[in-house]
A and B are shown apart, each in its own frame.
Chain A
Amino acid sequence: MFKQTIAVTSMNLRALPQRLGISLVIVIGIAVTVAVLVSVGAMATGFQKTLSNTGRDDRVIVLRGGSEAELSSTISRDNTLTILDAPGVKRDADGKPIGSADMVAIVSLPLKASGSGANVTLRGVGPKMPVLRPEIRIVEGRMFTPALRELIVGRGAVKQFSGLDLGSKVSFRDADWTVVGIFESNGDAHESELMTDIETALSAYRRNLFQSVTVMLESPEAFNAYKDRLTTDPTLGVDVKREPDYYAKQSQGLKKLLDLLSFGVGGIMALGAIFGTLNTMYTAVSSRGVEIATLRAIGFGALPVVVSVFVEALALALIGGALGAIGAWIFFNGNTVNTLGANFTQVVFNLTVSPALLVNGIVWACVIGVIGGLFPAVRAARLPIATALRAG
């Protein structure tokens, strides 16, 4: 039985090149499906990686109570001082708390890709920002000077928007701002931002309210006590979150969307590929109806026939799956993509095609091949021999 199966299957596979056109339908259909699945997955993975890179366990972000994001939060100057001064906040050599009360505003700049305007986050940061966020490294130029309309710009924002190169001038709030430095930040969400001195930002926007306060704690364990102290103070009315929790929450919406996308779009495409495979395999089987019937007349069993059709579908699916996965990897891995992130501004992140995603893509291909091959295989084996021979 084994020998028969091998013989029929290998004969079948060797004949594949003669059915190149029809086989390509399966291969391409599955390749495209897998490429889409893998690239949507790469988006989700990359986005999550970007946001989970943002934040440290010993850093805390304080927002007005009930505010999910910085833009909808306001904190008064008095309260920012209380938040920064509360026990549990780490202090620098000069005795001052390591923290930054930030102002966040939205600036519309032209995208490099389309030229159309898109939102980018402008963040005014306090003087302790470099100590608070040691991951922010100026890679070109220098730090902004307080009281001057100078900006440092994240690497991601430079890539995504035009006119942000070192030395260029950016106009908003009726003034020209000079880009004096470009920074990297481990590819986290801040790399898509513009930063300037807090007081300069507040005066340009004629504001006296802050959006958030970020502090560094003495240790991650100090969190609960610090949080209790702030949330039980009725004059403050704030929410206190560890940075990683905050950014995880921020990414939830998009993550859900991407999951929906991969299951929705991916599912529909997979369904299409299944029907394509079914259709093609039915055609392949019926075009070989006489061949199959002849083999069975000679005495070959039904099982080898089923297996051979099945293996053919699976082999084509695997080729398609591998092409799709490799294609997605070549074209998308490491590509940057921007999307609406926190604050409805653009977050730049890298598409990440992980090995798990590749495996996942191949598994999808196999599922499509199995379903698309099974029914034609069974039909091939069940067709009465005498009938199939007449069809020739």
Chain B
Amino acid sequence: MNAIVTLQNVTKRYTRGKQTVEVLHGIDLEIAQGDFVALMGPSGSGKTTLLNLIGGLDQPSTGSVAVAGERIDSLSGSRLAKWRARHIGFVFQFYNLMPMLTAQRNVELPLLLTSLSASQRKRNAEAALAVVGLAERARHKPNELSGGQAQRVAIARALVADPTLLVCDEPTGDLDRSTADEILNLLQVLNREHGKTIVMVTHDPKAAEFATHQLHLDKGKLVGTTATSTTAA
């Protein structure tokens, strides 16, 4: 098994004033290349916290986090930013598109951190929009898109720099059932046909069925791992 994510004995504590709360307790976790992992659990169980550690948006209090072959638990802020640019594509619940940029420009954003020329950036952004089926919406601004379309643009943005790992926090949390299914189908295609490794936080058991594996988090502890029989490759 070729592990892309390896967490060993990871804890995360937050200090608020004099009070310290441990949100994650001794997490051990491996995610293999090509997995599509659904991270589930009740509200407040630490799903977002764990996802942020994997995506390099936050660092653990103790333990080691290795992602894409690099120990990221003690990288400095600026090295971590470079590392994220190279390895991680993020998808958020509320899309987080830049409201004044067109879909095309939004998708191009991560490429500004590469050495690609303007014309290459444009071409790659168009290609990414084509993958999510929104080529004809390139010139639209986010407020001219439906929720599902905006999330597709966000997925195109997450894909465009060809990251090692896609990290999605409740990507369908704001969408109705059928739109959510479209997005989940898209993620599944990205996983199956493009070989993308995906970690997705979700509340929704139906959404989790699109994944190859399910992780269950409860009160800061992993309580079980299931391979999803119906959709596992």
Contact = CB atoms under 8 A, between A and B. Distances in A.
B113 A302 contact: no
Interface of B: 48-49, 52, 55, 57-58, 77-78, 81-82, 84-86, 90, 92, 94, 96, 98-101, 109-110, 112-113, 157
A141 interface: no
Given A291-B98, A298-B85, A389-B96, 5 more contacts: A7-B109, A291-B96, A294-B92, A294-B96, A298-B109
A7 B81 CA distance: 17
B112 A386 contact: no
Nearest to B110: A298
Contacts of A18: 99-100
B181 to A, nearest CB: 25
B84 A298 contact: yes
B77 A14 contact: no
30 contacts: A4-B113, A7-B112, A14-B100, A18-B99, A18-B100, A290-B94, A291-B96, A291-B98, A294-B96, A295-B98, A295-B109, A296-B81, A297-B55, A297-B84, A298-B84, A298-B110, A298-B157, A299-B84, A299-B86, A300-B81, A300-B112, A302-B81, A384-B58, A385-B57, A386-B49, A386-B52, A386-B57, A386-B58, A389-B92, A390-B48
B101 A389 contact: no
A294 B96 CA distance: 7
Interface string A1-42: 001100100010011001000000000000000000000000
A301 interface: yes
A234 interface: no
B112 A15 contact: no
Contacts of B86: 299
Contacts of B78: 301-302
Pick from B82, B112, B113 the residue with the most CB of A within 10 Å: B112
Interface in A170-222: none
Interface size, A (range): 20 to 34
B112 A389 contact: no
A15 B113 contact: no
Decide if the interface of chain A is mainly helix, strand, loop or mixed. helix
B96 A392 contact: yes
A148 B215 CA distance: 112
Contacts of B55: 297
B12 to A, nearest CB: 10
Contacts of A300: 81, 112-113
A300 B113 CA distance: 7
Interface string A240-254: 000000000000000
A390 B48 CA distance: 9
A7 B114 CA distance: 13
A3 B100 contact: no
Contacts of B100: 11, 14-15, 18
B171 to A, nearest CB: 14
B81 A301 contact: yes
Nearest to B97: A294
Nearest to B82: A299
Contact of B57 (A7, A291, A389, A392): A389
Contacts of B48: 390
Given A302-B78, A384-B58, A386-B52, A4 B94 contact: no
A136 B157 CA distance: 78
Nearest to A3: B112
Contacts of A301: 78, 81
A299 B57 contact: no
B81 A11 contact: no
B165 to A, nearest CB: 13
Contact of B99 (A4, A15, A295): A15
